[in-house]
Structure 1
């Protein structure tokens, strides 16, 4: 069964949902963002949690009102609903910037929409119920939102971690789909809590690897188990705290920052390496070389790599070839 619904969202809510859909790579064949597919997944994976949390909040406020006043249970519940709609869920129903969105649902998402329509609307519309659900979802840190959207993948990984089972999956990070068999060790959010990563040991090459969980496909937990290697576990736990998006060996780097470079270092927080020590305008780092390269390429002349020579050469070539293209 397939059905179309028209829902109304604020411009801000719609934009933030699109941002998540884009980050989590919900795309159509032409590469554009597939917001409809993303919202269907959100409804299926978040509905139960949202319903439970909403009912729990209503129950707590109702019980508090009954314990502090002589209200009947029905009056306390009505007042609790009024408090939630007025103070917990800001009312933007009359906003002139609401945008109509056509939502096509089928399968599980259609079933949940029918449950909402038949049992949960009370004095509100389906559009308002979904809007409140989406706003609740967006109030959660993005790394936790990722766990909601990719719930099945997370459940499989958690089971593999608990039972020390080898996992298989495909990944397309390098442009071509590749299959992996890994021993999972740690799930960790990036420093900015944008995405979560699986830190594991690759069975084929017997080396640590990291994968962004939202990019894993065809995840399968095998019957094969493995023994935890304490050395690998310690290494990956340290990486999980510092830079879960990279398990490459650390290098010692020295970077000279201009006055503006120091200011930029303070405000450019995405994937920012941790400083080991400073000596005036010299900043020392013990960090994966590739991550240092990606970070400091954004600084231009305000960051000069002094060592190691390999990192200095990487960035020099980056600017050299860029200049050559712009000079044509």
Structure 2
């Protein structure tokens, strides 16, 4: 346990909400599986982002010096001026403790963050504070897109998986929601969806029921207990084709067949399709039909099911395949029964 006292960090309201939302989205919870473990999340952020943040600030500082040295010949003055401009102009403002809508974050140092905190304390200027340094770091973190922020929080696992994908080396891991099951996979690529949100490991895994290799996807934040496997396998041509399709249609939705799906939309269903963006599948072609449109898909059946079940009754109808049509019928029938018996 660290001997450094707890650090209070004051951040703008929006930054505080973004950090809390990220901790929820990335499922950084306490043992109860529901409450956000804020200190662990902030610790992961600091460990995963510190070196990159220092490098980013140094790059900005060097660029300032290159521009200013044309006009400031004195080296000492140049250094002082570049640092002042970087801190007071380039880097974001830090809210005061009694400023407008500041949120207080309490950071309890851990064994993982203690050495970083000591480095920061020894490097900052006399008129600066470690709490202000962390505030600027957190603001910089929040300015990045969500998939980059996720890679920062889980940097260790992300870098491990990148190397495994490049080496085409089989790995084993568990997931945070079922750590008793060991997955043995051949990693293919880490990518993110069309909404640029979460990262997914695309891989090949054996289906224990059929004995065949299939395409799978696992969210980066849920992967834990990573290790290399001694098994030697290669990705089959069929699985490779499906993994490439998943990159196009949505990496979170496994594809393991080449069966076409046809969905009939009413005129209102077409309006809903245009409005409901998140998770929307890409169609291969569209045809006009009486009172609506026919949309044809080659994407995952799970994506079709999860997307169109959100439509109002009668707005969308799965015409084929029959198995997917039956799945949607059972879903709505079960929902209807629950309301009848409620």
**TM norm structure 2:** 0.87
Aligned in 2, Cα 1:236/1:125: closer, same or farther, shift over 3 Å? same
Per-residue CA deviation, residues 44-78 of structure 1 (Å, 9 max, x unaligned), is: 111011011101111111111213x2443333344
Matched, 1:14 2:16: yes
What SS does the corresponding residue of 2:117 show, helix, strand or coil? helix
Structure 1 residue 312, shift from structure 2 partner: 2.5
Aligned in 2, Cα 1:56/1:251: closer, same or farther, shift over 3 Å? same
CA RMSD of aligned residues (A): 2.3
What residue number does 2:322 align with?
309
What residue number does 1:320 align with?
333
CA contact (8 A) 1:186 1:240 kept: no
Aligned in 2, Cα 1:269/1:86: closer, same or farther, shift over 3 Å? farther
Q: Distance in 2 between matches of 1:246 and 1:177?
A: 23
Aligned in 2, Cα 1:80/1:192: closer, same or farther, shift over 3 Å? same
Aligned in 2, Cα 1:313/1:226: closer, same or farther, shift over 3 Å? closer
What residue number does 1:238 align with?
245
In structure 1, runs of 5+ residues without a counterpart are none
Structure 1 residue 25, shift from structure 2 partner: 1.0
What residue number does 1:116 align with?
120
Per-residue CA deviation, residues 82-118 of structure 1 (Å, 9 max, x unaligned), is: 4434543332515410011221111021221121112
Structure 1 residue 132, shift from structure 2 partner: 0.9
What SS does the corresponding residue of 1:187 show, helix, strand or coil? strand
CA contact (8 A) 1:172 1:178 kept: no
What residue number does 1:126 align with?
130
Per-residue CA deviation, residues 24-60 of structure 1 (Å, 9 max, x unaligned), is: 1110122211111100111011101101110111111
Aligned in 2, Cα 1:110/1:176: closer, same or farther, shift over 3 Å? closer
What residue number does 1:209 align with?
216
Q: Distance in 2 between matches of 1:82 and 1:304?
A: 63
What residue number does 1:56 align with?
59
What SS does the corresponding residue of 1:106 show, helix, strand or coil? coil
CA contact (8 A) 1:163 1:225 kept: no
What residue number does 1:183 align with?
186
Between 1:27-36 and 1:156-165, the stretch displaced more is: 156-165
What residue number does 2:298 align with?
286
What residue number does 1:5 align with?
7
Q: Distance in 2 between matches of 1:285 and 1:278?
A: 9
What SS does the corresponding residue of 2:215 show, helix, strand or coil? strand
Aligned in 2, Cα 1:296/1:74: closer, same or farther, shift over 3 Å? farther
What residue number does 1:298 align with?
310
What SS does the corresponding residue of 2:310 show, helix, strand or coil? coil
Structure 1 residue 176, shift from structure 2 partner: 6.8
Aligned in 2, Cα 1:225/1:312: closer, same or farther, shift over 3 Å? closer
CA contact (8 A) 2:48 2:155 kept: yes
CA contact (8 A) 2:204 2:215 kept: yes
Between 1:222-231 and 1:162-171, the stretch displaced more is: 222-231
CA contact (8 A) 1:8 1:131 kept: yes
Q: Distance in 2 between matches of 1:195 and 1:247?
A: 15
Q: Distance in 1 between matches of 2:193 and 2:158?
A: 16
Between 1:227-236 and 1:132-141, the stretch displaced more is: 227-236
Matched, 1:159 2:167: no
What residue number does 2:93 align with?
91
